[in-house]
Amino acid sequence: MERQRRTCAETCLELLSIELVHYYAAQNQAPLAASTEAIGFRVGRQLAERCTWDRPRLVEQLDVMKFICKEFWIELFQKQVDNLRTNHRGTFVLKDSNFRWLSKLSVDLPPPIKGPPADTQGGAADKGTPRESNGALPTSPTASEAAQDYLHLPCAIIRGALTHLGLPCTVSADASALPACDFTINIRAS
């Protein structure tokens, strides 16, 4: 008898991950990264347990990583990882050229600067423009900087899944070319 699978709407999961960051950022009680990583780690362990309950234990590092890149990624993000690279010494890079959880993020633009029009000749026409203490114009975070808060959860989910599969590791993410994202996994020597 085949086990019946539960489903969750993709949009609900994507919006939940975004709202989770907003919620913990507004709480100002616990560090955002620690809170979302704790949740993600537990979710990753439980999801890996569900995905592997009826299969033999994966022993080799490469087999575990292939499982993560194909079956686990499909379960979580509805697609396979686009590219898997390794240095054969415990470091793996998973490349996702269109990471779903970052595709719907937007960065609020700073409010328009009010005051006289800027002088293109280098004059003092912008005396009313607010400046930082060092004299620089204030900057808003770039999209890739803002995305870092939203990457704690997927990194922790991956780390939780790999820990459940017997590979304690660290996971970091780089989203410098949105919506693409690279996850770097460093397996701890046991």
pLDDT tens, 152-165?
999 999 999 999 99
The single-letter code of the amino acid at 86 is T
Say if residue 25's pLDDT is above 60.
Answer: yes
Share of the chain above pLDDT 70, in %: 75
Tell me how far apart the alpha carbons of residues 187 and 33 are, in angstroms, rounded to a whole number: 21
Can you say whether residue 58 is alpha, beta or left, with left for phi > 0 and alpha for psi between -120 and 50 degrees?
beta
- Mean pLDDT check: name the lowest of 5-9, 42-46, 97-101, 127-131: 127-131
Q: What is the largest CA-CA distance in the chain?
A: 79
Q: Residues 6 or more apart from 108 whose CB is under 8 A from it?
A: 140
pLDDT of amino acid 13: 75
Contact 156, 36 (CB under 8 A): yes
What's the rounded mean pLDDT across residues 52-78?
93
Q: pLDDT at residue 136 above 60? A: no
Q: Is the pLDDT of residue 166 over 60?
A: yes
Q: Is the peptide bond before 179 cis (omega within 30 degrees of 0)?
A: yes
Domain ranges of the chain: 10-105+140-187
- With a CB cutoff of 8 Å and minimum separation 6, the contacts of 83 are 93, 94, 95
Cα–Cα–Cα angle for 52, 187, 176, rounded to 5 degrees: 100
* Mean of per-residue pLDDT scores for the chain: 80
Q: What is the CATH number of domain 10-105+140-187?
A: 3.30.1380.20
| Token pair belonging to 45 | 């362990």
Residue 139's pLDDT band (boundaries 50, 70, 90)?
very low
| DSSP sequence for 77-119 | HSS--SEEEE-SSSEEEEEETT-HHHHT---PPPPPPPSSPPP
The pLDDT of residue 126:
46
- pLDDT score of 140 more than 90: no
Band the pLDDT of 87: cuts 50, 70, 90.
very high
**Distance between CA atoms of 142 and 61, rounded to whole angstroms?**
36
The whole model's pTM is what?
0.77
